Structure 1
């Protein structure tokens, strides 16, 4: 067998290893890189990777906070992926860095160890420096509190297209660099705490008060302001938004004006939610409105070709269609929808 054939065989073996590693979960790939330098180099040579730092197990409960086994498992999780990030920092000197297409960080025992915020900061920096496109962060700690505050550098990423946040805190520094996420299309916020109304506005709204023009899909679920379970009045004005979802947010008013909106879901059991305004949403084909305590539902210049609609509000709710008082059934008939 000549050297050319040997090289071809080596390349084939290398390609097979790379394909296997591409399909393996991140944890398995990291473990394999411990065992073999050949596997390590093959994985690091991939032009783009998906990273899933997922801490498996049950959420942290008060009765096992000091359990040695839980602490050891959590420390093992932290150390494994910190080793990976630290090792990959060596590629900063290389001309072409490996890109991170998707990055998911999920903890169910956040804050069990000291200085974990610094660890997560390093992980996020690693992804942001490698032009991460899809970022998914969920950091559940004791008592279900959002203890981790996102770094300001996250809010100036040019590459992010999808951002999913859960159990974290957003604090936009009014004196720092303005939020600039020009590629961001999908935002999902679940159990996110905002440090004041200005942080919410600064995060998703542009300087003129409209929704950031790149955002097409927005979901806000069980969000609140730091120190309270209350939210504020949510006002969304956009020419690009296609999907809007606001669920279980304790706010008083929700207003939306979005000419390209196709799907809207508003669900609330909170007694404080009294007013829902929908203006100029002429392209909606799916509507799900369920609010047990809603006082006023105001619709104007709305779609008349909705394919599926749910309108579940109190009988005493005041319903306005194009500034005229009507009942729920009339509104549903005008938008050509079926009462569910």
Structure 2
């Protein structure tokens, strides 16, 4: 034994292990990686973290992303902190070579209009340092109105991403954002007519536009959006009571993906958007009404490059029959997530879609689909829970639902809450003939672990005697 009472060989191993455990492996990383790790922390946490090591002492000057939030701060203390931090950061740029700012993110739950001048100063600092991203989220606490971003911000030649929440856009000065790729506006108030249209004209490189719950009342009868460069656009409303839903006129010849919430077909115009490949329409929040399906069918059939179509909550329009016709369509998705007692049967007729290979349905079982095409489809059916008691009436409806899936299926996936949705009562099973479905490949997914997996297997085989493969929750049965 040595002087520590440990055999030399064992003691050597113990010392090596202790030494390895005490090593500071993070400090051995390159400066660039450490700075990258620090960029994920809120800015007030970066400086204290850098004090943990002498080597890190000045690294906070090099963190390119600033994230400032007034959570857990008093308003005055927060403003004083940001003023002081940015002043120190400005001084550091004179002696730190790589002290650049690429992202400026500010979240305030307690904004007061009396502080607008100081907020202007912060944004000016960011823009003058060629920031590429600005994320500004404001919740005002007084009745002074919304904050209006300074002219310097909307004339930045370096800005690539601009996300604004809770402020005003004016047209009192021109917009020149030549490098802007992404524009996201949420709870933004447009003070003057054509404010958003003028904004888009000043963004010649814009590719992605998101409008969420913006106040469009003063714009007019139609929301007009023009852009040559735009490829993705999403318009949504969180509260239809507070925000006016307008028909839209989109002039974007390069638009590839369009997501609309509460679309109004009668006076909307997408005739120039011939490049759309992915279209998603969400009817959530519209009043229940009888609708002529021809306008929807016309829109679908007149998008020559359409490959992916998603219709959400289309049952709100009370469309008993929807005819789908599109020569390039490859994927069709119907998602009726809102269950109501007066839900009626919906029938989807695929008239002409020679490229269609995938179909997904989410909703109740008052649904049918049919097609004359011989294409093999991969089908996924997510059956929403509707009953506490799965009795004979339920299973009769379920069997009718399965029989009404009148297509040539490749792989069918059934997603249900539990095995109780599918397992038929033995008495009922003896009284009925097998549905004689011609499915070859079936996959079943249950949110709850099956209580009687063997019974579930028997029912699935009974449903389709021609099954060649069967899996339950990823487990291959055969």
TM-score (ref. length: structure 2): 0.52
Deviation at 1:95, TM superposition (A): 9.5
**1:236 alignment counterpart:** 225
Q: Which has the larger radius of gyration?
A: 2
**1:329 alignment counterpart:** 322
> Does structure 1 retain, via aligned residues, the 8 Å contact 2:171–2:192?
no
**2:60 alignment counterpart:** 43
**1:263 alignment counterpart:** 257
Structure 2 residue 170 is the aligned partner of structure 1 residue 155: no
Cα 1:170–1:34 change in 2 (3 A) is farther
Instruction: Map 1:1-340 onto structure 2 (within 5 A).
Output: 15=31, 21-32=38-49, 39-44=56-61, 46=62, 49-56=64-71, 73-91=74-92, 98-111=99-112, 115-142=114-141, 147-173=146-172, 176=173, 178-206=174-202, 212-224=203-215, 233-248=222-237, 250-268=244-262, 275-291=267-283, 292=286, 299=299, 301-310=302-311, 312=314, 329-331=322-324, 333=326, 336=329, 338=332, 340=334
Cα distance in 1 for residues equivalent to 2:30 and 2:210? 42
Cα distance in 1 for residues equivalent to 2:53 and 2:76? 24
**1:8 alignment counterpart:** none
Count of aligned positions: 291
**1:69 alignment counterpart:** none
Q: Secondary structure at the match of 2:307?
A: coil
Q: Secondary structure at the match of 1:116?
A: helix
Deviations 1:301-335 (A, max 9, x none): 51344223216386589xxxxxxxxx983355566
Higher RCO (CA 8 Å, separation ≥ 6 residues): 1
Q: Give 5+ residue unaligned stretches, structure 2.
A: 1-26, 238-242, 335-478
TM-score (ref. length: structure 1): 0.71
Q: Secondary structure at the match of 2:311?
A: strand
Q: Give 5+ residue unaligned stretches, structure 1.
A: 1-10, 58-71, 207-211, 318-326
> Does structure 2 retain, via aligned residues, the 8 Å contact 1:280–1:302?
no
Deviations 1:266-314 (A, max 9, x none): 1138xx8852221233332321123436896563851344223216386
Cα distance in 2 for residues equivalent to 1:20 and 1:163? 23
Deviations 1:163-189 (A, max 9, x none): 00000111231xx4x311000000000
Deviations 1:92-120 (A, max 9, x none): 76696732111110011111xx7311221
Deviation at 1:50, TM superposition (A): 0.3
